[in-house]
Structure formats: structure tokens, C-alpha cells
Structure 1
Amino acid sequence: MFSKWRKKSTESKQIDILAPVTGKAVPLAEVPDEAFAAGHMGKGVAIEPSEGKLISPFDGTVVHVIKSNHAVMLEHASGLQFLFHIGINTVSLKGEGFTSHVNIGDQVKAGQVLIEFDTATIVGAGYPTITPIIVTNADEVTESLEVLSGPVTAGKDVILKAVMKS
């Protein structure tokens, strides 16, 4: 009888995103590329990798794999979409040093290897290995996005906390 007077739930749902790469998480402002550093690509964080493996930080769907295998986009069940971009200007390597293990449309599990990359090849070509992790639709689906920094282990440490819009 009184159900029409009940308030709708205002509980926010927080989603923790784990590091997809082992290394040191840093603010996007430290990325030596204006498009990432100024947030033009979206909100997020970057990791200076200490090993050449990019794993899926959650169960999700591969929505795009860049032809040169240096970047991949995943969609989380919440609707959050992520761009994982290995290195800066690494598209110039035309795939050299990158091995993708996924294709568009693949369903991936947390911890699954998405891309392996050779940091020596990237550095040897004169490119930074810093890897931006961008939430490409954060403004559309989140109330807030907290970015964490410091040493991280892929698949274990939280790097982003997203509070979803209800």
C-alpha cells in the first residue's frame, strides 16, 4: 500500500578496474602526448610497464583491435569502454614487436592475455612504452572516476574506481 511512497534507490554502483599491465601507474598528465595528457582521448591513467604483457582487467568484449596491434578496446558489462594503448607513436612500428591474441567480438576473461609486446623493440625505435588506459565514455556513464597511482601488478591492483550513474 505504501510502496508508491518508497524512495527509489540512490545507491551508486562502484566498479573497480584492475591494472592491465604490471609497472608504475601515473597520472595521464605524465604521458608525453598532448592528446592523452590533456584528456582529449578521455579520462584515465597510464602505466609505465615493467613487462610486455597486456591482460584483460575484467570479463568483457573486444570492440576494436588496432591493425598494428598496439592498442585494443574492451567493453565492460557495465557499459564502460576502455582503450588500452601500448606506447606513444607506436603505430609507426606497423605491428613490429606486438602480438595480439584477440579479435573484434571476442569474449575475454579477466587475466586473459590480450597483447604481448616487446619493450626493447619499442624503446629501440625511440618510442616511450608508457601505456595509457582510457575510459572513452566516462562522461556518459560515470558520476565519478578515481585514478590511483603507484606500483601495480596486472590483474591484482586497482587503478580506477568508477562510480556509475544510476
Structure 2
Amino acid sequence: MLSWMQKSRKKTADLVVMAPLSGRAVPLDRVPDEAFSQRMMGEGIAIEPTEGKVFSPFDGVIAHLINSKHAIVLEHDSGAQILIHVGMDTVSLKGEGFTPRVETGERVKTGQVLLEFDIERIKAAGLPIITPVIVPVGIDAVLEVETHEGPISAGQDPVLTVKLA
């Protein structure tokens, strides 16, 4: 017999996070920034992008578009969030080479373009283009994060499976 607690808990399916960029999904260990590579920011994967477009990996809301336009936090209806951080030290570009296509608070659909960026501009500044896709620490809705590595196409291949509470 189920207790009241067990009956009232709504079972939520795992959140499959589709590739927000095309390229190659690699372990976070390859990110040349300890906050990401040592998983201080959270668990996830990194993408070596081959195209300068970030797409929404699931239906959700833009929780935050960073002022320097190099990073976006997206929230799923389950409460799970992901941070997509384009390149390393790209905050130093002060938004140059980044064109957001969404605003904080906007509801987005899977596959919608969130951000465009100039890969060559980032490289010319001597900055790595590797892009962490992170489930931030401290999100109660998240139990576990499973990563999927290898060649990926934006919107077509999963990069993370988030086990939800």
C-alpha cells in the first residue's frame, strides 16, 4: 500500500538535454578553467563548437541572459536549469561578437536560436571556444546528470540526461 507521501509525489520523466550547439561533446576535464573542469559550477559536458549558434536544448524559460551576452541560464518546467557558457574568458569581449536572440524571462521552444556568436572573433582574441553546458550545483530538482560524448548536431543528439527528483 502506498503512503500519502508516495501517492502525492508526481513522477517526472528524465530531462533529456539536446545538443545546444553542433560540434563535439567532450568531458568537462578538457575545459581550461578550473571552475568548470573541477565541476565547481556543476556537472555537465563541454562542446567544441563548429558553428556559432546556440539553440534551446528543451522547452523552457530564459532564467538569465548574462549582460556580456556570452552565457545563458535556461530553466525547464521541472525546475532543472542549465548554463550554456560560450567560450572561456569571453566575458572580456564585453558582448562583442555575440548576438542574443532572446531576453531574460522569455519562454523558448526546443530548437529555437538563443544566441549567435562569432567563432573567429573569439579565436582572434586568443580565447578558447570550448563551451560548457552545465547543470548548476544546488538545484533541488536534480538527482543525477549523465553525459553523452562524441560528434553532435544541434537539436538532434542528446548531450545530457538529467535524472529529476
Give the structure-2-normalised TM-score. Answer: 0.92
Residue 162 of structure 1 deviates from its aligned partner by: 1.2
1:25 maps onto 2:25 in alignment: yes
Residue 142 of structure 1 deviates from its aligned partner by: 2.3
Confirm or deny: 8 A CA contact 2:75 2:81 kept in the other structure: yes
Which residue of 1 is the match for residue 62 of structure 2?
62
Which residue of 2 is the match for residue 129 of structure 1?
129
Higher Cα Rg, which structure: 1
Bigger CA drift: 101-110 or 12-21? Answer: 12-21
Which residue of 1 is the match for residue 142 of structure 2?
142
Question: Match of 1:13, SS?
Answer: coil
Listed as ranges, the gaps of 5+ residues in structure 2 are: none
Bigger CA drift: 89-98 or 133-142? Answer: 133-142
Query: Number of matched residues?
Result: 161
- Overall identity of the aligned pairs, in %: 49
For 1:104, give the aligned amino acid: T
Listed as ranges, the gaps of 5+ residues in structure 1 are: none
Distance 1:57 1:33 in 2: 24
Which residue of 2 is the match for residue 14 of structure 1?
14
Bigger CA drift: 49-58 or 135-144? Answer: 135-144
- Spell out, residue by residue over 1:9-45, the C-alpha distance to the aligned partner (whole angstroms, 9 max, x if none): 7966322110100000011111000101001111111
Once the two structures are superposed, the pairs formed by residues 102-121 of structure 1 within 5 Å of their partners are 102-121=102-121
Which residue of 1 is the match for residue 84 of structure 2?
84
Which residue of 2 is the match for residue 100 of structure 1?
100
- Deviating above 4 A after TM superposition, structure 1's stretches of 4 or more consecutive aligned residues are 9-12
Residue 139 of structure 1 deviates from its aligned partner by: 5.5
Question: Match of 1:36, SS?
Answer: helix
- Spell out, residue by residue over 1:76-124, the C-alpha distance to the aligned partner (whole angstroms, 9 max, x if none): 1111111100000001111111000111110111111111001000001
Which residue of 1 is the match for residue 47 of structure 2?
47
